[in-house]
Every structure is written in C-alpha cells, then in structure tokens.
Amino acid sequence: MERPGVLFARRLDEYGDAPALITPDGTVTYGELAARVEARARQLGGIRRLVLICGANDVETIATYLAALAAGHPVLLAPGDKAAGVDALIAAYRPDVVVRRDCSGRMAVEEVHAGSAHVLHPDLALLLSTSGSTGSPKLVRLSHSNVQSNAESIAEYLDIRSGDRAVTTLPMHYCYGLSVIHSHLLRGAALVLTSLSVADADFWELFRTHGGTNFAGVPYTFDLLDRVGFDALDLPGLRYVTQAGGRLAPDRVRKYAELGRRRGWEFFVMYGQTEATARMAYLPPELATTHPHTIGRAIPGGSFRIEAVTDAPEDIGELVYSGPNVMLGYAEGPEDLRLGDVLGGELRTGDLARCRRDGLYEVVGRRSRFAKVYGLRIDLALVESTLAEHGHRSCCVGGAEELIAAVESGGDLEGARQVAARAAGLPVGAVRVCAVDELPRTATGKPDYSAVTALARRPEPTQRACPDGRADADALRALYTEVLGCPNVTDDSSFVSLGGDSLSYVRMSLRLEQLLGYLPENWHTTRIRDFTPRRGRRRPSVETNVLLRAVAIVLIAGSHIHLFTLLGGAHVLLGVAGYNFARFHLSSAGRNERLRHTLVSVGRIAVPSMVWLGCVIALTGEYRITSAFLLNGILGPPGWTIEWRYWFVEAIVYILLAVVVLLCIPVVDRTERTYPFLFPMGLVAVGLLTRYGVIDIDDTRNRILTASVVFWFFALGWAAAKATTMWHRICVTAAIVATVPGFFFGDTRREIIVIGGLCLLVWLRSVRCPTVLSRVAGILASASLYIYVTHFQVYLPLRDDHPWPALVLSLLVGVLYWQVVTFVLQRDRRAALWSAGRRLLRWERPPIPTMSTPNTAR
C-alpha cells in the first residue's frame, strides 16, 4: 500500500536544476527545493500529525507546506497575516505542530505534542477555511487525491508548461492562490514570489525581469489593472491571465479577452469553491468575447448537473458539481478529523444556474447565505450569529466592496462593527454598520435583505472608527484636509492621490502617528479606509530619508558656521529629493494629475524662497534681483558670488521643472511607467554627460553647484526609490561608488559623506531610534528647506563670537518660518498655488486614488 501523501510534492526532484521558486534573493531549483522539503519532513517527524502552517508566499513556508503534504501530515493552512485568526484556530483544533514566524521573523516549528492528539483519517491532507476568515472553526477537509487531481485538471486546461513563470498575486492560504502553487509545481514551472501589488510599478518590473508568463486575479485585481494602465504595459512573456474569486462583469470579461487577443495572451475566466479544492469550471478564452456572462464548462474530470429548485423557473436550478476534487466534507472541530468522505464526490454549490443549449453554464443567483466581498467568501449567517452572541441583533448583506450590517440601535455600534469585521475576516474599513430602530422584515416576518441593501445607499449615520479604535475616519479626513489643504478628501483618498509631497510628508507622518498610535507601513499610498489595526508593540523608528534630511541640514548649517567642516549634505539632499519625487509624484495617476501635483510642489518650494529673498533684498540690498526670482543660475554673474548661496533651491526647482516637462511627452510617460527602474538609470547616464564634461559647462568653479551638472544626484535618488530587487540596489550602489569620487576636486571627506548618505537611501528604509529623536528628526526634516533659505541671514552676525548659539538660532528661525508658511497656507485650504494649478489644468479629470493591496484574497 502506497504511503499517504500528495504525489507532486513527493516528485519535485524529477525536475532537477529547473527553477522552482524565484525571489529577490535568488532562485531555488527543484533539486534544492526537494532537499529542503526532505529536511523539513524529517523535522516534522515520522508520526502522522496535524500541522498548522501560517501561509506566506516565501520559500521556507512553501517548503514546509510541501514537506507536510509529501510526508502525509494533514495541514491546517492558516492566514499568516492575521495573528488573531491563527490563535483562534489553534484554540479550536489543538494542532500537534505549529509552524509560524517568531518575533524575529524567523520560521519556527513548535512541537506541541510529541505524537498526535488526534485520530486522523488516512485520506486527510489539507484543511482550509470555508471563507478565508480569521479563525472560523468551520473548515473544508481535502484529501490527497483532491489536491492532486485538481492540480492536474488546472494544469491541463491552462496548458501549464515547464517554462512558465507565475508571479504570485494572491495569498497562499486562499484556495485560489494555493491552486496556482500546486498546478505550477506539478508541471515543473516556476513561481516568482512577491507580496507586491499589481498597482505597484515595481511589480511589473519584477514581472519583466524574471520573464513572467502569467498571473491570477480576483475582480478587485482588475480594478487596479484599469488604474495602472495595464493595456499599455509591455509584457512580452505574458501567455495568459486567469480570473476567479467572484463574478467579473461581462463587459469587463469581454474587454480583457479582446485585449489579450490583440496582445497575444489568453484570458481564462474560472469558477470554483474551496469545497472543490479550488476550480470547478473554466471559460475557454476563445469563448470569452461571445459568452462573457457564463462560467463555461466543467474542468477535466468533473461534471455539472442542474437540480430543480422550488419556485425557480423551469430551466434554473441549483448547480451541483461532481468530480475527484470534491472535498471529504466539513470539519467544525477536531473530532471531525477522523471522518472520511461523507459527500460521495458530489457538491451542492448553493448557486442557481442554467445549462445553455451550447453546453455552457450560467450562474444567475445564490441560494445560500454567503456573499463575496473583495473576492472573499463571507458566511453571513456566521456573522449574524457572532453578533448575536455579543448582544447585537443584526441582518447582514454583502456588497462588492463592503459588508453591510443593519444593527438595532441602543448598543455599542462601533463594537458591533469590530465584531462583524473579526467574524468575517475583513478589515474594519470594509464593514459598514447601519443603525435601525427595528430590523426590516418582509410580510411573512422573514429578514428583508433587500431593505438592508437599500439602507446602505443612505448616508452613513455612524462614525467610522479607524481600525485601532482610537480615531474615526472623520478625524483622518480632517487631518488630511488640514495638512494638505485639500477640501475633497474621501475614504478612498491617500496621501499620494491628494498631491502630498516631501514637504508635507514628514508633518503628516508625525500627526498620523500621533492619531493612530503608530505609523503604518506604506501609509502614503494607503487609502484612509484601509488603515489596519495596530498589532503588538512597535519599536519607534524614523525613515531613512527623513533622518538624512534632518542630519544633512544640520551639517549644512554647522559647516557654514565653521563649527565643523562636513560638506556634502546639500548633494545628499538632491538624492533625497529624487527619491521623494519618485515616491510621491510617480503614482499610477494620469499625466495631467502628475503634472499638477509636481507644479504644486515646485510652487511650495519656490514661493517661500522667493518671498524670503525678496524681503532680504528690500531690507538690505545684499543680493541681485535675479536671486529673488531664482534666476541666478541663468542670469546671474559668472564665477562665485554670494548669490550662489541659494544654488540648491534653484537646482531643485530647475530639475523638477525639467523632469515634469519631460514626462509630459506621452512616449516618455509610457516608457517611465513600463520601465520604472531602467528609466531613472537612463537619466543617471544622461546626467553623467555633464558630470564628466562630455557636455561642457564653462564655469568650472561653480560646476558642482550647477543644476545641469548635479542632476545625476537627483536621478540616483529616483533610481534608489525604484530599486526593488537585490540586483537593482547593487546597480544603484555601483553607480554611486563609481561616479561620486573625483567630483568634489579631491575632497575625500565630502565624497565619503555623499556616498554614505546615498547608499543609506538605497539599502536602509528606516532606522530604529528613541521616540524623542524621531520627533526631533521629523521637525528638522520638515523645516529643512526653510532652514536652508533663512540660515544665511541668521548665523552671519553671530558666527565669529557665538557659533553654537548661531546654529541653534538658525534651526529655530527655519522652524519658525516653516510654521508661518504652513499657517498661511492653511488659512485658505485651497491656497493660491493650489488654485493656480487647478486653473492651469481646469480640463483634467479628477484624481484617481492610489490603491493598496488588500490584506485578504480579493
């Protein structure tokens, strides 16, 4: 008798040196993966045990999962990003082994029982949540043959080949994402592991770099693809795209099928449930344009039938599926793990459907109380019963992008929202609670779900709390309005979509951290509705670019005052400016939106500088009038004069204007979006033409201060922000180390400071430090431009006799000027510059919000 285990997991070594898993750190071949699987299997032991694994798209997790499948250990696959859900599953099922990341981020195998505390059926291979929710005790029991047969069917109709490379877009613990892993490893194809969103330009750079041939998406994925201009991306290796996880509107199915036909790739629409391991039907690509409203035909080895339903039209009934991939049954507790097949290979899907004359099946509705929100299957009855356990009488319905719960008023509505979110496994921002005096009922006394859906169309009557319960969305919207001076803030707004830039970034981060109690990662591209709850204690840190801005301005002022001689801070700031330009202005928004945002930022740099210099000239006559208009670099006298003190401000303004003009050219804009890393590296090469004198700059004394010569520092910072892989970072670092030496006329110390600062920008995203230090750094970074502009007038009278007070006073005056400018802009939320930008581009479309990848499989 053959030992239990999933066949493809035991035969990985058959593909030898072919790539299996591709990561930013390197490639793991099938032979190497098989060795890791064998080592993990020995660690799991020879006694068959229940193994809980926290799913994640990384090498160690996948290797451990395959080891358990190969050795015959039943796997309970849990959502690795939801600690509360994992703890709930552990409490409910008492696994013998728990595999998850420890506090240091390392994979830890915790042996709870030396043997097994359970009676495990010989066929049991995998346990998956019925809804993907966090901690729901109801699990789907899948057998070894379920997993193997479904992987074979999917690989067959998709024609997966050994040369294929699928880039991961879905969580491993979601059956759709897991089926991508199974079917590709079955055929010896490769998986490119990443957690990047398809809305991130770096995802497509990764896709091209590693020769991606396919990716999977749920309906929400295609919303993001529309926003990033997927139809214009150059993806020469793309063979096919798959869609499942919820119904995609027929017109969009047709649109993507036609796009694929034009661009040489196929579009597969698929239908499935966790209870059938993953897939039950697929729509052949050649039929997608003519039959986009259908789910197609059964997968190889499977079949459908329509069972009559009372009160349904004659040709409509419940869709029933038969096949070797149908689950053994459900488990609602550890005692069910001993059960075998209780369904006989037949699954009632709960969907109402018809079989057309051409043999294709069309789903027309649902019988059961389930809904799909962002592609996640939600058990509405479970949510309602959970709310009832907490004293909330409710009626729940699901929309495409939110769960709506009508709750009888008189209780803690925000508490009800939190409970519903936990029960459904959704972010709190995806749950809406409507307070009602009495739950709506039909004439027969049954819950009136259509009335609840209608309630959701009314303005929301309750405050929407931020996920950590400390601040509601109204407070967040008010904060964004206050800091950015933009009146039209919604829950779908993000810092970037509202035109945030480096000048407002630090102030916003400090205020946001104060409001939320922590600063979420990638908050600047996260929608207000998607801020996630705080999990555990977070050590205070400051972003590297913020710390560099703070340190650089202190070095600049201190060196000018002659407290020390540590030059190079201004050139590091040029790199930081390029880095922040790439982060804040190169979003997925259209050309016109990018132009407006950049012009507003240029105005926020230029206008306060011009106002200060104009006042200084009016009071002292110390500078030429060209300085007040930031034209010294163009119209000023040759050679060094005091007007060159403000070279840095002029350089930033000139460079930003030149770049924005360049990106207004459609072909250049498309090229930057298609090759987000190679484009700035190309600009580095162009900038080196003036750096090395290929294009000569006459004034050799001022060449290290001239915008056209120092542009390459800006481009290096831009490239650093777009460097997402190890090789990208190595390339940028090599460019820095190779080109900076010799630029500062033999000033080695200056070169070391510039190289060190730019390399930190490439390799280190944040630095842990005490909270007080991070706050001080944030204030100095926010005020860095204003300190630079004002410090010449502050320190000069004090430099000789009182250098330290001169430094402190220079910093304080700059911070004060920053506060004055901020106050003036806030008095008119639209601000003069904002209004000028809108008038200039009055014809443009509204800004497109920058979206984040949801935490769950959508």
DSSP state for residue 533 in the 8-state scheme: P
* pLDDT score for 294: 96
Report the pLDDT averaged over residues 672-688.
93
Q: Delimit the CATH 1.10.1200.10 region(s) of the chain.
A: 473-533
- DSSP secondary structure of 87-140: HHHHHHH--SEEEEE-TTS-EEEEES-SS-SS---TTEEEEEESS--SS-S-EE
**429 pLDDT exceeds 60?**
yes
Dihedral pair phi/psi, residue 130, rounded to 5°: -70, -25
pLDDT at 596: 82
Predicted confidence at residue 702, as pLDDT, reads 74
Q: How many angstroms separate the CA atoms of 154 and 300, rounded?
A: 8
Q: Could you tell me whether strands 317-322 and 214-217 are parallel, antiparallel, or unpaired per DSSP bridges?
A: unpaired
Give the C-alpha separation, 487 to 589, whole Å: 19
Check residue 268 and give its pLDDT.
98
Q: Cα separation of 852 and 831, whole Å? A: 29
Report the pLDDT averaged over residues 493-511.
Answer: 74
| Strand-strand pairing, 346-355 and 329-331 | unpaired
Architecture of domain 473-533: Orthogonal Bundle (1.10)
CA dihedral 110, 85, 243, 192 (to 10 degrees): -30
Is a pLDDT exceeding 80 seen at residue 441?
no
Tokens 């926003």, residue? 227
Q: What is the mean pLDDT of residues 609-615?
A: 95
Position 374 scores a pLDDT of: 67
Specify the domain boundaries for CATH 3.40.50.12780 within the chain: 7-365
pLDDT of residue 442 exceeding 90: no
Cβ-Cβ contacts under 8 Å for 491 (sequence gap 6 or more): 429, 464, 473, 477, 527, 528, 529
* Cα gap 589→419, rounded to integer Å: 36
pLDDT band at 854 (very low <50, low <70, confident <90, very high): very low
Mean pLDDT, residues 478-502? 73
- State residue 136's pLDDT score: 61
Domain at 370-455, CATH from 1.10.3720.10, 3.30.2350.10, 2.60.40.10, 3.30.300.30: 3.30.300.30
N-to-C CA span, the chain:
41
Taking residues 584-606, report their average pLDDT.
83
pLDDT at 485: 66
For residue range 167-225, list pLDDT tens digits in order. Answer: 999 999 999 999 999 999 999 999 999 999 998 889 999 999 999 999 999 988 898 89
If pLDDT is split at 50, 70 and 90, which confidence band does 446 have?
low
Mean pLDDT value of segment 633-659: 88
Least confident of 69-83, 194-208, 511-525, 787-801: 511-525
Looking at the DSSP bridge assignments, the partners of residue 141 are: 127, 329
Range from 34-38, 475-479, 818-822 carrying the lowest mean pLDDT: 475-479
In angstroms, the CA 222 to CA 851 distance is 12
Q: How many whole angstroms separate alpha carbon 202 and alpha carbon 729?
A: 13
Measured CA to CA, the distance from residue 242 to residue 398 in angstroms comes to 24
Between 228-242, 615-629, 641-655, 686-700, the lowest mean confidence (pLDDT) is in 686-700
Q: In what order do the strands lie in the sheet with 266-271?
A: 26-29, 19-23, 190-192, 165-167, 214-217, 240-243, 266-271, 281-283, 297-298
If pLDDT is split at 50, 70 and 90, which confidence band does 509 have? Answer: confident
On average, the pLDDT of the chain sits at 85
Range of 287-301, 383-397, 697-711 with top mean pLDDT: 287-301
pLDDT for res 778: 85
Q: Given a cut of 80, is residue 842 above it in pLDDT?
A: no
Dihedral-angle region of residue 345 (phi above 0 means left; psi in -120 to 50 means alpha; beta otherwise): left
Average pLDDT rounded to a whole number, residues 842-852: 32
How far is the C-alpha of 294 from the C-alpha of 270, rounded, in Å?
10
- As a whole number, mean pLDDT of residues 244-257 equals 91
Residue 368 has pLDDT above 70, yes or no: no
pLDDT at 96 over 50: yes
Among 402-411, 516-525, 565-574, 714-723, the range scoring the smallest mean pLDDT is 516-525
Give the model confidence (pLDDT) of 311-349 as tens digits.
Answer: 667 888 999 999 999 999 999 999 999 999 999 999 999
As a whole number of angstroms, the distance between CA 369 and CA 377 comes to: 10
Is it the case that residue 533 has pLDDT exceeding 60? no
Phi and psi at residue 616, to the nearest 5°? -60, -45
Question: How far from 207 is each of 29, 368, 371, 718, 789, CA to CA, in Å?
Answer: 19, 39, 32, 20, 44
Of residues 442 and 813, the one with the higher pLDDT is: 813
What whole-number percentage of the chain has pLDDT above 90?
A: 55
Q: What confidence score (pLDDT) does residue 472 get?
A: 53
CA distance 715 to 679: 9
Given a cut of 50, whether residue 155 has pLDDT beyond it is yes
Is this model's pTM higher than 0.75 or not? no
pLDDT exceeds 90 at position 378: no
Buried residues in 296-335 as b, exposed as e (16+ CB within 10 A): bbbbeebebebeeeeebeeebbbbbbbbbbbbbbebeebe
Q: Mapping DSSP to helix (H, G, I), strand (E, B) and coil, where does residue 443 land?
A: coil
pLDDT digits (tens, 9 = 90+) for 745-773: 889 999 999 999 999 999 998 888 887 88
Question: 3-state class of 407 per DSSP?
Answer: strand
Phi, psi of 44 (to 5 degrees): -75, -20
The alpha carbons of the chain give a radius of gyration, in whole angstroms, of 30
Confidence band for 512, pLDDT divided at 50, 70 and 90: confident
Predicted local confidence at residue 857, as pLDDT:
30
In the chain, which segments carry CATH 3.30.300.30? 370-455
Burial class, 578, CB count within 10 angstroms (exposed 0-12 / middle 13-18 / buried 19+): buried
pLDDT band at 592 (very low <50, low <70, confident <90, very high): confident
- 587, two tokens: 């979003």
Q: Does residue 459 register a pLDDT over 90?
A: no
Q: What CATH number is given for 7-365 in this structure?
A: 3.40.50.12780
